[in-house]
């Protein structure tokens, strides 16, 4: 049977009720005290529980803050450690870079030393590898070197080409082209359209050597810098260079005597104007018949200056039949030049002239139909095509 208390005051008139019946207590005051104590105990217990919960909550907050501080401290320590590691690695790379630059001679002092013996002992090799040699394109002191590994381009000769026009097209020397094709050029002045020429990328000459001794003589003869020689030919030492057979000598040209023997004389244009008639068969302006024209006609107004095509000595100056007023100059290697139809002659026989010096004035004397210069080039008396030997400058 369940009991419950009914009442809300301490007047002693409290009732106990059951679900089946109700009855009055015989000690109303004592029951009130009992109930009042229970109520106070309940309140006290509730307050204790609340205080306990609050304490637990506060403790949890404190622990959370402590954990956050510890976590932040650990994160800071890890971040600082990472920064220190990065700084150490960067320092190592910086020191390595500086040492490498010094080793390659990029400081202000010359420290690259190639152990080359002028007595040329083939057993003496440089300490640099082929890769290192190919990477050294700067001279000491940081200035750019003008030497790079040589390469070759095949060029198909066009109609009207000669060594001089081709050299201007590729901005290299005639020596460079001629030396690279010496085996295929029987006559360097007679280039045929369609033939293939090997064109070096650098200014210099190509030479062939049979052995180390011949290489030594060639290097000494042209006084070529060893490092430049190695870079241009992409080798690390003289042993490798001697084995190539064909070597490129950078920034070298043929001696003057060899140039003359190799491809003769590069004649300059004797006058300004336009080409009115070339060498070869043509219709004669006087007879109308087909006749061989032995020179080059350059037309311009009367009085246009005429210049010596090359250095030489005047061997004729005067009137010469159909040539009219004429000058003939003798040049080295059996060459000679003729200047016809002049209005005025400005030189004398025996006079030495230099290339480009003024020797006369254009005219229309002799067998001529108008003001022009008739120009011829001969070698030992044999007529040559002037356009194959002339270079416009």
Best CA proximity match to 389, nearest among 381, 375, 377, 380: 377
The residue written with tokens 């700084």 in the block is: 87
- The count of other CB atoms within 10 Å of the CB of residue 138 is 13
Task: Give Cβ neighbours of residue 48 (< 8 Å, ≥ 6 apart).
Answer: none
Domain 267-391 has CATH 2.70.70.10: yes
Q: Which CATH number fits domain 130-263: 3.30.1330.30, 3.40.50.150, 3.30.9.10, 3.10.350.10?
A: 3.10.350.10
Q: What is the DSSP letter of 14?
A: -
Best CA proximity match to 136, nearest among 225, 239, 227: 227
Task: Give Cβ neighbours of residue 137 (< 8 Å, ≥ 6 apart).
Answer: 144, 145, 147, 148, 231
Domain boundaries defined on the chain: 1-103, 130-263, 267-391
Q: What is the pLDDT of residue 257?
A: 66
Report how far apart the first and last C-alpha atoms of the chain are (Å, whole number). 138
Residue 255 CA, chain-centre distance (Å), reads 30
The residue written with tokens 């100056």 in the block is: 317
Q: What is the pLDDT of residue 312?
A: 95
pLDDT string in tens for the chain (393-residue length): 444 444 444 444 444 444 444 444 444 444 444 444 454 455 555 555 555 555 555 556 565 555 555 555 556 666 677 778 877 787 776 766 666 655 544 443 333 333 333 333 333 333 344 444 445 444 433 334 467 899 999 999 998 888 888 999 999 998 999 999 988 887 777 788 999 999 999 999 999 998 888 988 999 989 988 888 999 999 988 888 889 889 999 999 987 767 766 766 778 999 999 999 999 999 888 888 999 999 999 999 999 999 999 999 999 999 999 999 999 999 988 899 999 999 999 999 999 999 999 999 999 999 999 999 999 999 999 999 998 788 765
**Strand pairing class (296-299; 372-379):** antiparallel
pTM attached to this predicted model: 0.45
Q: What is the pLDDT of residue 51?
A: 54
**Strand pairing class (3-6; 15-18):** antiparallel
Q: What is the pLDDT of residue 70?
A: 58
- Report CA-CA distances (Å) from 378 to 19, 91, 115: 154, 74, 52
Q: What is the pLDDT of residue 127?
A: 38
């Amino acid at each position: 049977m369940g009991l419950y208390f009914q009442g809300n005051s301490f007047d002693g008139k409290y009732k106990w009720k059951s679900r089946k019946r109700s009855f009055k207590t015989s000690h109303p005051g004592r029951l009130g005290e009992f109930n009042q104590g229970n109520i106070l105990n309940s309140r006290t217990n509730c307050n204790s529980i609340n205080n306990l919960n609050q304490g637990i909550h506060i403790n949890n907050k404190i622990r959370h803050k402590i954990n956050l501080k510890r976590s932040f401290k650990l994160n800071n320590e890890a971040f600082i450690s990472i920064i220190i590691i990065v700084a150490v690695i960067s320092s190592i790379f910086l020191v390595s870079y500086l040492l490498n630059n010094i080793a390659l001679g990029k400081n202000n002092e010359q420290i690259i030393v190639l152990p080359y013996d002028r007595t040329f002992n083939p057993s003496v090799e440089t300490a640099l590898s082929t890769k290192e040699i190919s990477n050294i394109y700067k001279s000491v002191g940081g200035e750019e070197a003008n030497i790079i590994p040589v390469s070759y381009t095949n060029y198909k000769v066009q109609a009207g080409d000669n060594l001089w026009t081709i050299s201007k097209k590729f901005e290299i020397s005639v020596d460079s082209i001629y030396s690279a094709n010496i085996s295929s050029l029987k006559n360097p002045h007679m280039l045929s359209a369609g033939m293939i020429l090997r064109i070096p990328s650098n200014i210099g000459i190509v030479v062939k050597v049979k052995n180390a001794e011949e290489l030594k003589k060639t290097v000494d003869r042209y006084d070529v810098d060893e490092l430049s020689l190695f870079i241009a030919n992409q080798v690390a030492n003289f042993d490798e260079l001697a084995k190539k057979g064909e070597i490129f000598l950078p920034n070298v040209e043929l001696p003057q005597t060899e140039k003359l023997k190799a491809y003769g004389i590069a004649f300059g244009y004797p006058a300004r104007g336009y080409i009115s008639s070339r060498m070869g068969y043509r219709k004669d302006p006087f007879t109308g018949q087909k006749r061989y024209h032995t020179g080059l006609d350059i037309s311009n107004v009367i009085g246009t200056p005429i210049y010596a095509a090359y250095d030489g000595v005047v061997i004729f100056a005067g009137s010469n039949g159909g040539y009219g007023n004429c000058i003939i100059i003798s040049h080295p290697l059996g060459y000679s030049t003729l200047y016809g139809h002049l209005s005025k002659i400005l030189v004398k026989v025996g006079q030495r002239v230099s290339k480009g010096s003024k020797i006369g004035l254009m005219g229309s004397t002799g067998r001529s139909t108008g003001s022009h210069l008739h120009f011829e080039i001969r070698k030992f008396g044999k007529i040559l095509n002037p356009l194959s030997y002339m270079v416009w400058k």
